[in-house]
Amino acid sequence: MMSEPFIPARPNPLSKAFWGYYFEQSLKRTFAQCLVAGEEHIVPILERGSSAPCPTIIVCTHGSWWDAAVTIVLSLRRYHLDADGMMEYRQLTKYRFFSRIGMFSVVREDPRSAVRSLDYAASRLRNSDRFLWMFPQGTLIHQDLPIVAEPGIGILVRKLGRVRILPLSIRYELLRNKKPTCWALFGPPQIVDWDPVSTVSGIGADVSNALNIVSSTNRTNAQAEDPSLYTSLFR
């Protein structure tokens, strides 16, 4: 079977500025509130000093179409990250503008295409402090189901050798308002080194565990309507 064509990231400042603002306004219109917590885990990464470069993969839960909008606003408007993102080829073909804010394509069902995308991601991250946004479960699942990472995250760590993994839970609750509230929570980052005893499945299991832990905490806070640790996503 012939592999699907590959769509690389072609980010440019004008597109980032426009679409960052566009999705921020979309979130403001759609949600009663958009809240974020756990920023003590990402701010030190942004303020890194003279230590050796280490790329960061932000691994996210994926329970809604709105996750893409939330991550774009976090990346472009709140933290101003130098970041790429992986996106299904069919979706990126439909929404080509995403490539101009740093998205590149992957076809999960085609092993050759998936390896090409992971090679491309590694080439963009290697020996840098850049970021990659990734939904490691690979597909949209209900926000209350357990997260099981696919092999891609482990393969990418193997290709890079050393990487920082930062988990992020995003969920949505419709409780006392006409509009839902978006809750985003970062968990603690972990530096992962590929060594002789590392395995792709083991790294996938560690990522799954980290995401399930932060997702459980985020769910508890959201369902208890406890925003005490959260702040508005919008500056």
Residue 45 within a domain: yes
Kindly report, residue by residue over 75-108, the tens digit of the pLDDT: 999 999 999 999 989 889 998 999 999 999 998 8
In terms of residues, how long is the chain?
235
Token pair for 134: 């990734």
Residue 21 is inside which H or E element, if any? helix 13-30
Q: Among residues of the chain, what percentage have pLDDT more than 90?
A: 86
Full domain range(s) for residue 50: 13-232
| CB-CB contact of 173 with 179 (8 Å) | no
- Cα–Cα distances in angstroms (integers) from residue 153 to residues 130, 179, 192, 207, in the given order: 16, 34, 11, 8
Residue 221 lies in a domain: yes
Predicted confidence (pLDDT) per residue in 157-190, tens digit:
999 999 999 999 999 999 888 999 999 999 999 9
Does residue 162 belong to any structural domain of this protein?
A: yes
The count of domains in the chain is 1
Residue at 23 is within a domain? yes
Class of residue 90 by CB neighbours under 10 A (exposed 0-12, middle 13-18, buried 19+): exposed
Residue 145 belongs to a domain? yes
Q: Is residue 64 part of a domain?
A: yes
Residue 49 pLDDT > 70, yes or no? Answer: no
Each residue of 103-120: pLDDT tens digit? 999 988 888 889 999 999
Q: Report the CATH number at residue 103.
A: 3.40.1130.10
What's the whole-model pTM score?
0.94
Q: Is 6 part of a structural domain of the chain? A: no
Say if 123 falls within a structural domain: yes
